[in-house]
Amino acid sequence: MNRTALCIRMLQILNSRDFITKKELADLLETNPRNVTEFLKELETVGYEIETTRGRYGGYHLKESALLPALRLTEEECESLDEAAKYLSSHADFLPLKGFMQVQEKILSAQRQKNNASIVFLNAAVPTTGKMVPVIEMCRKACSAQKTVSFQYKSMHSKQFENVELQPYEVLNIQGEYYCLGYNRKKTSFRFYKFSNERMKHFEVNERSFQRDSNFNVHHYLGQSGLMKEECYEIECIIEGNLALLVSESGIGIHPVMQWLDDKKLHVSTLVEGKINALRLLSSLGDQCKLLAPESLKKEMHQIAIQMEKNYK
């Protein structure tokens, strides 16, 4: 960022805050405190009145509101705003969603920039991506540019890494984890690949381009509650005690139907997608849940309970 841009950025920061220290300004501008002093002089020269407080806790305050220059957002900033809106919209507890979306649309429409790549959020939780953040960003840009990507990948049931060349279509956030959905020509099918330090390495974007299938629809490959479409289990159970109240407030599974049998017992019928998810849900309910159906899951939960008893003896 050049000197003029830094001065304008400093002015915007001053206008958005009642008071800010020199060090905070330097950190936000990614420059040194000496430059902040020089920028201050330049802004005062062109007529902005900035009050300076000296001493250990000294800093700056823009004395009166001013007409600030309107800066065009960069493509990356537009994309970040768009991703934030999509992430928030995946949370049912975000109450001001409608107003936020309207503000976001106004900002982006004023920029007149088209955002070609996005992240699909499904039941998003707080993402924990760590060192994979740059890789996710590379993949998202490859999706937009329709460039193939190459990497080494080890699936959950594999003992070694395999070389993968992929036509990336979507980056997805599923319950806080990031995945790439793309077409693997070698496997002649669309596949999911999880962004993970343990599963993925040597990720790079190739110069080779691909033509995106115009009939592609990401939702054809997603389940209702998770990453992949799996067999649905219709679970019927009775939940007791304090847990019954919590479940009645938040619900479990897909489209739960709940009915109180008395003031401490709750009858629940719900759908859960995938056996692993079903067993995980039932395990989390512990001894306050009595499973009525299906019989196949009752048998598996019985075996799990026997093994847990051995583990904790």
Domain boundaries, the chain: 3-62, 116-220, 232-312
CATH label, 232-312, candidates 1.10.575, 3.40.50, 3.40.462, 3.30.70? 3.30.70
The rounded radius of gyration (Å) of the Cα atoms in the chain is: 27
State the average pLDDT over residues 241-261.
90
Name the residue with higher pLDDT: 177 or 278: 278
The CATH architecture to which 3-62 belongs is Orthogonal Bundle (1.10)
Q: What CA–CA distance (Å, rounded) separates 150 from 142?
A: 11
- Burial of residue 261 (CB within 10 Å: 0-12, 13-18, 19+) is exposed
Helix (H, G, I), strand (E, B) or coil at 205: strand
pLDDT at 90: 59
CB 20 within 8 A of CB 14: yes
Q: What CA–CA distance (Å, rounded) separates 200 from 153?
A: 5
Q: What CA–CA distance (Å, rounded) separates 71 from 285?
A: 53
Beta sheet of 59-62, edge-to-edge order: 20-21, 59-62, 50-53
State the average pLDDT over residues 40-57.
82
Q: Quick check: do 3-62 and 232-312 share a fold?
A: no
pLDDT digit string, tens, across residues 108-121: 666 555 445 555 55
Q: Per-residue pLDDT for 262 more than 60?
A: yes
pLDDT digit string, tens, across residues 270-289: 988 778 889 999 999 999 99
- Position 220 confidence tier, pLDDT thresholds 50, 70, 90: confident
Mean per-residue pLDDT of the chain: 82
